Amino acid sequence: MRRGMAAGRIFTVWKRAVALCAILALMAGIVVLAWAVAGLPPVSLVAEHGFPPAGGPTGQVREVEGVTFVELAPGYSRMGSWFRCDRGDFPGRVSAVFGLPWGRPPTEEGDEVPLRWVVFPRCFWIARTEVTNEQFERFDVGRPRSALSSGDRDPAVNVSWEAARRYCEWLSSRGDLDVRLPSEAEWEHAARAGSSSEYCFGDDPAGLAEYGWFIENSGGRAREVGTRKPNGWGLHDFHGNVWEWCADAYHSTYRGAPPDGRPRDREGSTRRLRRGGCWSDPAGECRSANRARSNPKYWGRIMGFRPAADPR
């Protein structure tokens, strides 16, 4: 009799343990599903770099030939946007996680998808503002200025991708940083400053006039750099003013892009990335994720750049 009672107690404890494990497994599954549907970063990134996404200024600043560089720490951020896409309905988004056909799944349209998480394993430096006429003319003495961007502190325009790259090479010879054009992943990482919204300040374009120069407030010309509000990392003019060249060759999707922020380069490409929109663009073109492309030989009154750099 006693043995039977003991066996019954063991069986009861065993049932409770199994039920508890089932409940914990179900709760863990719900958390994992909610995490994936919400588009939150992989757990491995959170474990290594923390949450929310990180990688902001280290506090180190250097100046090379008048250009102020800000050092950004290792970290990670989300790249891309659903702005031009149909995000589908909730059942469709849940089903998409498991590859099931139920609901209305998200559809990828445009060149800002698929959204991805990019890791920046090393520190890099980025210019606080776009390169100005005064700064560029230390390299190209006597260069004529555009009537639409003529002040010393106005951004240098009529700059091709190749001319911007040559300037970066020259700047490398003038200081202790290896200066180059930023990858588009680095550019968007710096532009977002830890945000995941369409602009560094949120999703509503009504606030854009405080942070950038675009068609509604520019008066039909480029404006002095650093005169609008900075983003959360103290960097200026990522939204509008002039388009900024990036190192990458253009591809119409992020599939196959390097996961560590390096440029997606194709030697001799006839299409190079430009980012940020300009003084003659509407608000939608000045979003953090917006992408455009041009021939590397193209130069015009809307084209400028900001350099990045690595420690030597």
- For the chain, where are the alpha helices, taking DSSP H only? 2-37, 43-49, 90-98, 133-136, 161-172, 184-192
Q: How far is CA 295 from CA 38, 140, 229, 248, 250, in A?
A: 37, 21, 31, 12, 10
Name residues whose C-beta falls within 8 Å of residue 81's C-beta, 6 or more positions apart in sequence. Answer: 112, 113, 115, 198, 287, 288, 289, 290
Name residues whose C-beta falls within 8 Å of residue 124's C-beta, 6 or more positions apart in sequence. Answer: 71, 72, 186, 308, 309, 310
More confident residue, 119 or 17: 119
- Per-residue pLDDT tens over the stretch 133-155: 999 999 999 999 999 999 999 99
Measured CA to CA, the distance from residue 155 to residue 148 in angstroms comes to: 10
Q: Which is nearest to 181 in space by CA: 127, 253, 111, 116?
A: 127
Q: What is the pLDDT of residue 29?
A: 47
Q: How far is CA 116 from CA 72, 83, 245, in A?
A: 20, 14, 21
Q: State the CB neighbour count (10 A cutoff) for residue 290.
A: 23
CATH class of this structure's domain 62-80+116-311: alpha beta
Q: What is the pLDDT of residue 20?
A: 65
Angle (deg, nearest 10), helices 2-37 and 90-98: 110
Name residues whose C-beta falls within 8 Å of residue 165's C-beta, 6 or more positions apart in sequence. Answer: 180, 181
- Residue 180: its H or E element: strand 177-180
The 3-class SS string of 139-157 reads CCCCCCCECCECCCCCECC
Measured CA to CA, the distance from residue 298 to residue 151 in angstroms comes to: 22
Name residues whose C-beta falls within 8 Å of residue 155's C-beta, 6 or more positions apart in sequence. Answer: 129, 130, 131, 132, 133, 149, 222, 225, 237, 241, 242, 304
SS3 178: strand
Measured CA to CA, the distance from residue 31 to residue 297 in angstroms comes to: 50
pLDDT-derived band at 19 (thresholds 50, 70, 90) equals low
pLDDT-derived band at 4 (thresholds 50, 70, 90) equals low
Measured CA to CA, the distance from residue 308 to residue 165 in angstroms comes to: 11
SS3 9: helix
Q: What is the pLDDT of residue 45?
A: 78
* Average pLDDT score over residue span 201-216: 98
pTM of this structure = 0.87
Where do we find the tokens 């992989």?
42
Q: Hey, which of 26-30, 89-93, 284-288 has the most confident mean pLDDT?
A: 284-288
pLDDT-derived band at 13 (thresholds 50, 70, 90) equals low
Q: What is the pLDDT of residue 33?
A: 45
pLDDT-derived band at 55 (thresholds 50, 70, 90) equals confident
Q: How far is CA 101 from CA 32, 92, 93, 115, in A?
A: 20, 8, 10, 21
